[in-house]
A and B are shown apart, each in its own frame.
Chain A
Amino acid sequence: MTGATTPVAVCARCGGALQPDDRFCEECGTRVVEAPQPGTQAAVGTPPVSAKVADLDDNELGVDPGPVPAPPARCRSCGGTVAADGYCEQCGEPAASARDHWSESPAPWVGGVCDRGVRHARNEDAMALAASGGFAALVVCDGVSTAPDSDVASLAAVAAARDVLLAGGPDGAERATGSPAARTAVFSGLLARAAVAGDEAVAATVREGVGPEHAPSCTFVAAVVDDDLLVAGWLGDSRVYWLPDDEPGEQLTADDSWAGELIARGVPREAAEASPQAHAITRWLGPDADDVTARTTATVIDGPGWVLVCSDGLWNYCSGAQDLAALVRGFAQARDGDPTRVAGDLVAWANAQGGRDNVTVALARAGAARGQAGTAPSDAEDQRPDQHDDPHDDEVTTPVRRVSEPPGSDSLGSTRPKD
């Protein structure tokens, strides 16, 4: 061994070695189309390739299975072949870099799509999903555009947060068991720690010589689905919705934004959202954040439905839970309930509305009736403990709903414009 860094990918044009951070080939200058396969630095700079994530076995969760051969890149616009120069051979559409657009499908009932959108030059959103049996963790972070390197920071944050949440999963060191209340306590604690881990991961991406005022930052939102329990945690304005099939949908998170805080103080929603600073967020992850204690909320799921985790790139075009539920149902019917494809449809829909921001949509099909239309194939059922055998089932008579208070919510002193 020479001691040089082991190349993790090769240039599609000349075969030259590529390092994980390379955007262009050192040898021939060709733009890197397929992201280098994530190695040890996977958490920083390169998102996981969707094919890899989909191939993960449950017991390999979070473990990098090593490089897989990259399939020939297809154009996201027309389906043509993407040439080595980074553009489609048919329509000239630039290749979506793996950072600009990717999807994850960790289980047949869990999937998501993260996309650059139309107007932004970079994708500063990030997403990390994991699933095992009846457990799933969905994490979305939305990088703050006004800070440089927020794309790197958000990606680092989601990976770190997901890894913390996995501890509460079936294979985790802190497997949550017992009553919904007991499990809620475990997951709320994990969500708080996940936010802290995300914050530390953001701090680790800060380049030398960059002051806190230019430090990268991002929002944080995560949902844990554990059979009939749904626990969400957040900082900022990325959201979790619970959209049951037979009941009105609801937004579980309450935005940490100027508008959100005005609404919490009793200002009418229209007036609050019309204020010039409406979209400025009041809490976030990053070196300049005052406090990174995530607010959490828990819900017991008593029927089939969709858990939707998204960045404001989606909800800006469809904020109301009922409207969103109708959109999801429509796409779910057309897509036979495949969460990744439904998420892709929602992203495409947001882009069709203008795509003014990065868009991330992660979905989990939750509730007892996951075998029904618009749900996962039956093999997913086998991986999932039967809910009716749950010894704690009887203890639950009404949904648990506890929302932790936002620390310092009585202060509107600190905000930052997000876009």
Chain B
Amino acid sequence: MAVFTAEVFQNEFLPQGGTDVHAIVTLTSSGAGAAATASGGVAEIIMVDTSGSMSGRNLDAAKHAAQVAVDQIADGTWFAIVGGSHVAQRIFPYPNAVRDMVQMEPGARFEAKRAISTLMPSGGTAMSTWLALTDRLFATVPQAPQRHAILLTDGKNESEPRAALSAVVRKVTGHFQCDARGVGANWQVDELREISTALLGTVDLIAHPDDIAEDFRDLVQRSMSRGIADAELRVWAPQGAQVLFVRQVAPTVEDLTSRRVAVNALTSGYPTGSWGDESRDYHVAVRVGSKPVGSEQLAARVQIAVGGEVLASGLVKARWSDDDSLTARISPEVAHYTGQAELASVIQEGLAAKAAGDEATATVKLGRAVQLAQETGNDEATSRLKRVVEIDDPEQGTVRLKRNTDKLDEMALDTASTKTTRVRK
């Protein structure tokens, strides 16, 4: 049985008249065990781009990667392979098969790999059709609550308007989790980010086709090692209080505020997907009514619930004081993750401005990113930024945009922008 713990980092002291309470809550799970594959509680679908642009090395590598992934899918797991172009097709089980998904066993594994090897490139790209088919396939195995998909593409979603993709993403949200991967430099980071963010997965760049197999192996292994099918973050705030935002801040920045579902009048729930043995940090901000100096009040209960049962609870408190030495202090954890969240957004805004030809904005935003990466000790972000800008003064955030940057460097900076570092102890 999985065990969760909750740790709260905050400065609970507020000055007279203070109303806003910020806290970082670290939720850690242990004893999650492996996913319930043998009993048929897990389903896995791999979506491979088979559009015309994939022809040659990319499709060969993708086929190999999909076969590697199939090898990693544990026996008993419900699975299917989807080939996607401007339409989506079930590759395995074979299109003429009666069942939409089958449980993995040696014979199925052999046949699936054979089916993958027959994939031929043709057509355009309409990812909404891939997601819609995947959703329909998952719906045929209601006995498998833990559902994970991988989407691999190499190009833009050019065969349909963006709104069509967004509509389907909204429709399938909450039905399954999806990691999205782009190979090469011709795909759109924001398109895959929209998918992976809504579907509680990750987005990443695979620069070279040869690396797809390794990445797929990791993704499937990670999925199979998540023994907690679905956990819900819950935030209780007192009557009359307002939850300003709820944000996952580690391992990546994800704003959860808009994903709120009401648990009861005072408690909001935010889906967090499946969990293995891991640790995630959340930044919660609550606005409470000010109380007299000397008063104490609970500002939030931050909880993790599995199957409706609360397994851990962190208490965020507010205490009003007239002692400036207590109230002026900012929690180092809150400061760190506030900076990391801003870092993610200024990188994305800076790159978007650069792409739009607004060099002035791009320079300011990426300069601020350099400054924040330096302040929060995010060395990986700093080294990615260095490939895109010349840094004159990291502390002031003075930079110049590089000419002739490699598109892949910009995409790597973009996809990794939400990855955060933990607080240096």
Binding site for B on A (CB under 8 A): 78, 85, 87-94, 118-121, 354-355
What are the nearest 7 A-B pairs in CB distance? A92-B298, A92-B238, A87-B298, A119-B294, A92-B297, A91-B238, A94-B296
User: Does B90 have its Cβ within 8 Å of any Cβ on chain A?
Assistant: no
Bound CA span A87–B295, Å: 13
Q: Which residues does B use to contact A, with CB under 8 Å?
A: 237-241, 266, 288, 292-299, 301, 313, 315
Question: Which residue of B237, B294, B297, B313 contacts A93 across the interface (Cβ within 8 Å)?
Answer: B297
Q: Is the CB of A78 within 8 A of B301?
A: no
By a CB distance below 8 angstroms, the chain A residues around B297 are 87, 91-94
Contact across chains for A88 and B298 when beta carbons are under 8 A apart: yes
Interface of chain B: mostly helix, strand, loop or mixed? loop
Which of A90, A92, A118 is within 8 Å of B294, CB to CB?
A118
Are A118's CB and B298's CB within 8 A?
no
Residues of A within 8 Å of B295, CB to CB, are 118
Cross-chain contact A120 with B294 (CB below 8 angstroms): yes
Q: Which residues of B contact A85 (CB under 8 A)?
A: 298, 301, 313, 315
- How many angstroms between the C-alpha atoms of A104 and B294 in the bound complex? 26
What would 12 more interface pairs be, CB under 8 Å, given A91-B239, A92-B298? A85-B313, A87-B297, A88-B238, A88-B298, A90-B238, A91-B297, A92-B238, A92-B288, A93-B297, A118-B292, A118-B295, A119-B293
A78-B239, A85-B313, A85-B315 known; A92-B299 Cβ under 8 A = yes
Contact residues in A for B288 (Cβ distance below 8 Å): 92
8 Å CB contact of B298 from A78, A94, A119, A355: A94
What's the count of A-B pairs with C-beta under 8 Å?
Answer: 41
Contacts of A78 in B (CB 8 A): 239
Inside 8 A of A90's CB, which chain B residues have their CB?
Answer: 238-239, 266
For A119, the closest partner residue in chain B by CB is B294
A94 to B12, CA, bound (A): 14
* Min distance, Cβ B66 to any Cβ of chain A, angstroms: 47
Q: List 12 A-B contacts (CB under 8 A).
A: A78-B239, A85-B301, A85-B313, A85-B315, A88-B238, A90-B238, A90-B239, A91-B238, A93-B297, A94-B296, A118-B295, A119-B292
Which residue on chain A has the smallest CB distance to residue B318?
A: A92
Give the CA-CA distance A92 to B291 in the complex, in Å. Answer: 12
A354 to B295, CA, bound (A): 11
Question: How long is the Cα–Cα vector from A119 to B291 in the complex, in angstroms?
Answer: 11
By beta carbon, the residue of chain A nearest B292 is A118
How far is A354 from B266 in the complex, measured between Cα atoms in Å?
Answer: 30
Whole-angstrom distance between the Cβ of A217 and the nearest chain B Cβ? 23
**Cα A90 to Cα B266 with chains together (Å):** 8
A120: B residues at CB distance < 8 A: 294
Q: How far is the CA of A89 from the CA of B293 in the complex (A)?
A: 22
Chain B residue with Cβ nearest A83 = B301
Q: How far is the CA of A92 from the CA of B313 in the complex (A)?
A: 14
A90–B296 Cα gap in the complex (Å)? 15
- CB neighbours (8 Å) of B298 from chain A are 85, 87-88, 92-94
**Shortest distance in angstroms between A326's beta carbon and chain B's nearest beta carbon?**
26
The answer for the CA separation of A93 and B239 in the assembled complex, in Å, is: 11
A90–B241 Cα gap in the complex (Å)? 11
A residues near B313, Cβ cutoff 8 Å: 85
- Chain A residue, CB-CB nearest to B267: A89
**Docked complex Cα distance between A158 and B148 (Å):** 66
Q: Which of B239, B241, B294, B315 contacts A87 (CB 8 A)?
A: B315
CA distance A235 to B425 in the complex (A): 53
Max chain A CB contacts within 10 Å: which of B237, B238, B240?
B238
B293 CB to nearest A CB, Å: 7
Which residues of B are found within 8 Å of A354, using beta-carbon distances? 292
Contacts of B241 in A (CB 8 A): 92
* A24-B238 Cα distance, complex, nearest whole Å: 23
Kindly name the residue among A78, A87, A94 whose own CB sees the greatest number of chain B CB atoms within 10 A: A87
When distances are taken between beta carbons in the complex, the residues of chain B under 8 Å from A88 are: 238, 298
Measured in the bound complex, the distance between the Cα atoms of B288 and A355 in whole Å is 22
**Hey, which chain B residues are within 8 Å of A92, CB to CB?**
237-238, 241, 288, 297-299
User: Which of B237, B240, B293, B315 has the largest number of chain A CB atoms within 10 A?
Assistant: B315
A89 to B238, CA, bound (A): 7
